[in-house]
Amino acid sequence: MPRLTKDDVQPVGFKLNGRPVVVRVTPRTLLTDALRHEIGATGTHVGCEHGVCGACTVQVDGEPARACLMLAHQADGCDIRTVEGLAQGDALTPLQEAFRAHFALQCGFCTAGILMTLDALFSRQPDADEDAIREALSGHLCRCTGYAPIVQAALTARNRIKGGPIDA
C-alpha cells in the first residue's frame, strides 16, 4: 500500500453542533477519529469499531449514524450533532435529566450513542411507544443496565417533552 503524503490530506467542512468546522484529514480518516482527535469532541466513544455496539452514534443531518463506519470526507457539507450538542449550556435536555433521574447512565460508555439515537427518535416520532424505543435501542449494546432504566428514562423524557405527566 502506498504511503500517504501531505498532499493526501484534504480539508473537510461540516457543521458540528451548529458551528462550522474544517478539519484536514486523509481519505481514510474515520469520522470518529476526526471528531475525537482533530476536534476534541470526545463524547463520541469508540467501542467495537465495527458499527455493532452503537457507542459512536452521532446524528448526521438529523439521523443517527455510526461514526466509526463513516469516513470524515462523507461528512463534508453535513450537519453533525454529537452528545456535546444536546445540552444548552448547563441546562440538560429532558432526555438527559431523565437518564440521570432513572440511573440509566451506569458506566456511561454507551450513553452518548443511546442519547443521540433517542433524541433523533423523539424528533421524528414524539409519541414513540415502548416498542419503538426498544427497536431504536436494538443497535446499542449496554452491559450495565439491562436496558430497563434506559427504557424507563426514555418514556419519562417522552412524556416530559410532550408536556404530559412525568412518570411513564
Hey, where are the domains in the chain? Answer: 8-84, 94-161
Cell of 76: 463534508
Give the C-alpha distances (Å, rounded to integers) separating 54 from 26, 40, 66, 160: 24, 19, 7, 25
Cell of 12: 473537510
Domain 94-161 fold: DNA polymerase; domain 1 (1.10.150)
- Measuring CA to CA, which residue among 124, 149, 98, 62 is closest to residue 132? 124
For domain 8-84, the CATH architecture is Roll (3.10)
C-alpha gyration radius of the chain: 17
Tens of each residue's pLDDT in the chain, 168 residues:
567 666 789 999 999 999 999 999 999 999 999 999 999 999 999 998 898 899 999 999 999 999 999 999 999 999 999 999 999 888 999 999 999 999 998 888 999 999 999 999 999 999 999 999 999 999 999 888 889 999 999 999 999 988 766 655
Q: What is the pTM of this model?
A: 0.91
Cell of 47: 467501542
pLDDT the model gives residue 1: 59
- Measuring CA to CA, which residue among 38, 165, 167, 35 is closest to residue 113? 35
Gap between the Cα atoms of 105 and 83, Å rounded = 14
Burial 83-108 (b: 16+ CB within 10 A, else e): bbbbeeeeeebbbbbbbeebebbbee
